[in-house]
Amino acid sequence: MSSKRVVIFAGGELSPEYFDLLDEDDFIIGADHGALFLISHGYTPDIAVGDFDSVSLEALQDIESKSKKTITCDAVNKDLTDSEMALDIAMDQQPDSILLLGVTGTRMDHSLASIQMMTRALQRQINCYVMDTHNYITLTGSQAVINDLGYTYVSLLPLTPEVSGITLEGFQYPLTDASLKLGQSLGVSNKLISSSGTVTIRSGLLLIIQSKD
């Protein structure tokens, strides 16, 4: 089965406003507490997955009864986070894109792990996005069109030791065949000057972060 987009609701920071992003044909995965968030707002996950250590037994039973399918695992003897298990399931749907919600929050380790997970989707040629209240993050190894989604800034951060051949079109501070090394802040706080801009790179992996305060 091929689905155009998979949307993952994980156990981090979530907002009811995210439901406005959903389309009827989205394949929806609830990871751990994200599944409880979905059913608590009247949504039916196509798949609920996780160790469910953040919900009560009663809540888990509710999740199982109100999800189309539930996949549980041991909370101790597992190698993947709930979010990564959800991502594996999402990629198995062979979608065009994956939207990750609730994968950021107070746990910086989980936030960084979730951002780095996008490399796995990119290897499968699947567009992957991480979104929270203040940020919209994607990853490119070639070219990306950045649409104005109402965020103030667009920052570029290398995810590999060096990203070369960076060319920006439609930005306040353009670049032509530039390079960014890990640890440099040259690409922080740029801005779009039109409804969209284009980021092109020759080598490496580049995080593109749209953000607002």
40-61 pLDDT, tens per residue?
999 999 999 998 888 889 999 9
Most confident of 80-89, 107-116, 162-171: 162-171
pTM assigned to the model: 0.91
In this structure, whether the domain defined by 143-211 belongs to CATH 2.60.120.320 is answered with: yes
The CATH code that applies to domain 5-133 is 3.40.50.10240
98-107 burial string, b = 16+ CB within 10 Å, else e?
bbbbbbbeee
Question: Is 138's pLDDT higher than 70?
Answer: yes
CA atoms of 101 and 78, how far apart (whole Å): 22
Please say whether the beta carbons of 155 and 188 come within 8 A.
yes
Question: Is 141's pLDDT higher than 90?
Answer: yes
| The pLDDT of residue 192 | 97
| The pLDDT of residue 146 | 96
- Same fold across 5-133 and 143-211: no
Max distance between CA atoms of the chain, in angstroms, equals 57
* Domain layout of the chain by residue ranges: 5-133, 143-211
129-149 burial string, b = 16+ CB within 10 Å, else e?
bbbbeebbbbbbbeebebeee
- Greater model confidence, 142 or 3: 142
